[in-house]
Each structure stands twice: as C-alpha cells, then as structure tokens.
Structure 1
C-alpha cells in the first residue's frame, strides 16, 4: 500500500499513532498497525480481545496482547505479546460429541489445541511506545519479531500429519497440552500420528513415562483426571485405545 497519499487509511492510522495520548488508545492503534503489517499473513486486529487473529479452514490462531499495569499518559505506554493460542472447530465438535473420551474444560477453550506464554519463548515480547516519534519503529520491530517467532510456533501444529514430530517439547510437559494435541489428532482420524506423539512423550524421560502409566491406571479404575493434570495424556491414551 502507498502510505504517502494524504487521506489514505494507513496514513491516517500512522498519524493517529503519533497524535494519540491515552495508553489504551495507543495500544489499539498499535494493534491495527500490526494487522496492516501482517496483512499478507492473513491476521486481523480484534479490538474487543486486544489480539491479532487469523482463521484458516476452521482453525483460529490468536496473538494476545496486554498493556503494562504501569501505563500512564505522558509517563509510560508499553504493551507486550503475552500469549499464543490455537483453536480448532473440528476438535471442539469432536469433544462435544465424545464427552466420555475427554475431560471437562472451560467452555471458552473447548476447541483448544495448544497455547503458550509468549514470554516463555521470547526475550523481546514488549514494545515501549511512550514517545510518539518512536512508536512506529518500535511497533514494526515487535511485528517482525512476532513473524519470526510466533508464526513458526503456529506452524508446528498447523500440519496434523507432521504434528507429532514438529510440536515443541514444552507443549508436551505433563501439565501442558499433550492431551489436547492427542485429541486433535484423533479428531482428524490420525491414529498412527497419535501413537507417534505418545511414543515421543514416552521418550522424553522417566517423569513422562510415569505420568503415562499412572494416567492409564486411573482410566482402568474408572477415574477421570482434571484438564492439564500430569495424568491426562496417559488417561486419554487408554480411553482412546491407543496403547
């Protein structure tokens, strides 16, 4: 887009970024600017959620933002990328149709595939935009960093047939998203890949193997784990008939 023409929407947005003073207004304009920068990656800004989101074939990828609690007009305006989330409509439908094969989750995350704190995978999660003349440059730096870090993270679960090998190990911690990823594969009918994911979980270490064993025993004895508990993936492995 040519931003040199006066009156062009992007030109007006750039002017707003320089003119706005209230932290919440600046952060909203910054999000819109990042959406413009990530337009070719199909992201759009959701004002109500303070997030960048893209939808692809029933899949939702979300980049969640948050302003600093210390923000004050004229003193500090800072915001950070705080979380990355992936949801899948097919997985949500599968869970609703098979409540006996999954665990209870809050309604807002019935379709969750995985999520991570951006602060856990990045050392450059924030942009300080206190000074109007520095705002666009600071936002552009954060935008490029998001493209380098967030987009590959999303891609790791974007191809179900390669998910078992591409998933970051942090998502397989006993209290992380191993169960959710396993259910995602089963909801797609990818049982071989689901078993590969379980074997990868087994290979990480004794803590992981013990969690699988205890979770299977819980299922055999008619128990039910809570979401994100260490026993959840082993429980799912048993009730889904994968081991």
Structure 2
C-alpha cells in the first residue's frame, strides 16, 4: 500500500491540501477536531453543534506555479434547524447553517478586537520546504483566534462580542438562533451593532421591518432587508425600531 503523500513530497495542489489537512487534524485532535478528507474539512461536533474549518484550494492553482489555500470557518446547529421547521412563519432559512465566513476575518484578533481581513486566511503552500512552518502557523491561528471565536458563537451572551462582520454575515440566522435559545432580548442589540458598523444598511434594515409589519416577505437576496424583517417578526415589534444613536462597541 502506497503511504500517503506528506507536506514536502506532495506536488499536485489537491494532494497538498489533503496533506495539510491531515497534519492539522493530528495537531488539533486534542481540541476535538478531525480531518474529513472527502470535504477537505476540519470538524468537531459538540452535541448538536458542528464546527468546521474548510480548506479551499484556489481554482488557479497549478503544480509548481501557484498553490494558495484559503480557510473558511462555519458553524452549524441542528437544534436551530428544528426550531426553524417548527416556526415556518418567522423563519427565513431552512438549514442548520448558523454563521460562517473567511477565517481571515478573525485571524488578527487582539484582546477581543479584530484586525484581520480576507487575505489573513489565505496561505501559500507552493514551496515544499516551507510548508511545515506555514501549516504550523495556520494551526497557531486556529488555536489563538478561531477557537475563541467559536466560543463566542456558542453562547447568546457571548455572541454580542463576536466581530461585527460575523453578526452581519450571520444575519437572520443569528437572530433565529437567539430566538431558539430564548434570548429574543438580544435581537435588537445585534441589529443595532450591525447597523452601527455599516450605516449604509440602515434604510434597508428599516424597510425589512416595514415589510414584516405589512405581512410581506423580504427579498431573498437582500441580507439587510432580511435582518430588519427577522428582528420585527421575532420580537413582535417590541423595541423593534433600529436605534440611530445607540453607542455600540466596534470590532
């Protein structure tokens, strides 16, 4: 039986991704992660919650020429899916997806603040000699930045401290999750934090709330409109107005 290719012997981009994933899976095993080769995903399950770190090779990768790998962080929650199915009148989505975005957005965390960007989650594995050090650096980012982010997104009270980009991209799914956890009191705080970080969304968020009041559904392609709609529907209009002058900590 041919032994699996290692970080330094693999040449094809797909083989390098698999070798990197196996290395990370072994290194993060004590944290509960395992490598799923079929989906190129590091995954751990905590009850009905599933946390994933997905390795994605660039479509432009070519052996000996380019080998870039980007990482995505994803949280899924089967309890959220059950809640959505039980409340179709207020649920916009019907999957177990809670939140997810490029790992780079949380890769530069210092004292709870975020200084990362998309490129901070992209790693160059072209040089075979340098791959072990690069993958070790990826593991360090996961331990020091991603694990705290996963802890934040696991509890309603801590979700409020998550990066504003996390709250924005999670959108209605996060609001529905808060409702499923019995924490509708946090819904408008999340909305206000998102709007404070992205003032340009305000009009569309408010339009979504107005649609809910008229018994209409938001556009499936407008995240801001959906956010306002969900906030109105899930709070029953209680304190549902989006604050214009609420001081909010930035991420």
Look up the match of 1:177: 170
RMSD of aligned Cα (Å):
2.5
Look up the match of 1:210: 203
Tell me the distance in 2 between the aligned counterparts of 1:207 and 1:23.
40
Look up the match of 2:146: 150
Q: How does 1:1-243 map to 2 (within 5 A)?
A: 16-73=6-63, 75-76=64-65, 78-104=67-93, 110-120=95-105, 121-122=116-117, 123-163=119-159, 165-173=160-168, 176-201=169-194, 203-204=196-197, 206-225=199-218, 226=220, 228-240=222-234, 241=236, 242=238, 243=240
Tell me the distance in 1 between the aligned counterparts of 2:58 and 2:225.
36
Contact 2:104-2:122 at 8 Å conserved across structures: no
Report how many residues are paired: 223
C-alpha deviation, 1:130, in angstroms:
3.3
Q: Which runs of 5+ in 1 are unaligned?
A: 1-11
Tell me the distance in 2 between the aligned counterparts of 1:218 and 1:183.
18
Tell me the distance in 2 between the aligned counterparts of 1:205 and 1:65.
29
Q: Provide the TM-score with structure 2 as the length reference.
A: 0.77
C-alpha deviation, 1:79, in angstroms:
3.7
Cα distance 1:186–1:104, how it changes in 2: closer, same or farther (>3 A)? closer
Q: Provide the TM-score with structure 1 as the length reference.
A: 0.80
Tell me the distance in 2 between the aligned counterparts of 1:194 and 1:128.
39
Bigger radius of gyration = 1
